C-alpha cells in the first residue's frame, strides 16, 4: 500500500523504483519512524547500512566514512534503483556482525554495509544508533536517531 502524507502519495517503504518517484533526499516522517528517499548502490540490500548525501546518493557504510547514515529498506543494488532508507526509529532488519546484547553502541564493521558492536574502532562509531537485540544470523534490531559517522575519535 502506498504511503499518503500531506496530500502527497509516496512509494511503499520496501518498493524498488526504477525511475525516481520522489526527489532524492526527501525525508518523510511516519509516526515514530523517519525515512529518506535514496539512490541504490552496488551490493545494496535490505538491511544494509549506507551513508548518504543531502542529494540522496548512497555509499555502503565502510571504515573512515563521514556523513548521515541509514538502513536500506529494500534491495537497491544498482544506481538505477531508488527507494527508502530508515533514519529514525526501531529497525528490525539491520545487517550486523557481532552484537551480543541490547543496549550496545554500534561501530562500522570490516564488511561494507554492516555495523558491529564488538570493536571500538577510533573514529568509526555510528552516532545515534544502538542495538535493541542480540544478533541472529547477522541481523539485529537497532534504534536509529538520525545516525551519522564523522571519522573522528570520540573519547
- Encode pLDDT of 62-116 as tens digits: 999 999 999 999 999 999 999 999 999 999 999 999 888 999 999 999 899 999 9
Domain map (residue ranges) of the chain? 3-149
CA dihedral sign of residues 104, 109, 111, 112: positive
* Residue that is written with C-alpha cell 524498488 in the block: 16
6 pLDDT band, cuts 50/70/90, is: low
DSSP single-letter state for residue 132: S
* Residue that is written with C-alpha cell 564488538 in the block: 118
For the cut 80, the answer to whether the pLDDT of residue 53 exceeds it is: yes
d(CA 7, CA 140): 34
- Predicted TM-score (pTM) of this structure: 0.93
DSSP single-letter state for residue 71: E
Residue 123: is it exposed, middle or buried by C-beta count within 10 angstroms (0-12/13-18/19+)?
middle
Amino acid at each position: 500500500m502506498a504511503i499518503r502524507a500531506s496530500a502527497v502519495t509516496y512509494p511503499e517503504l520496501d518498493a524498488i523504483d526504477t525511475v525516481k518517484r520522489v526527489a532524492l533526499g526527501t525525508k518523510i516522517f511516519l509516526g515514530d519512524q523517519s525515512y529518506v528517499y535514496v539512490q541504490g548502490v552496488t551490493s545494496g540490500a535490505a538491511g544494509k547500512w549506507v551513508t548518504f548525501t543531502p542529494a540522496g546518493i548512497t555509499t555502503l557504510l565502510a571504515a573512515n566514512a563521514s556523513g548521515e547514515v541509514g538502513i536500506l529498506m529494500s534491495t537497491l543494488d544498482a544506481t538505477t534503483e531508488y527507494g527508502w532508507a530508515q533514519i529514525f526509529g526501531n529497525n528490525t532488519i539491520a545487517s550486523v556482525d557481532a552484537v551480543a546484547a541490547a543496549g550496545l553502541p554500534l561501530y562500522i564493521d570490516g564488511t561494507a554495509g554492516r555495523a558491529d558492536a564488538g570493536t571500538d574502532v577510533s573514529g568509526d562509531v555510528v552516532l545515534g544508533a544502538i542495538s535493541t537485540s542480540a544478533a541472529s544470523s547477522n541481523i539485529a534490531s537497532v534504534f536509529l536517531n538520525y545516525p551519522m559517522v564523522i571519522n573522528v575519535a570520540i573519547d
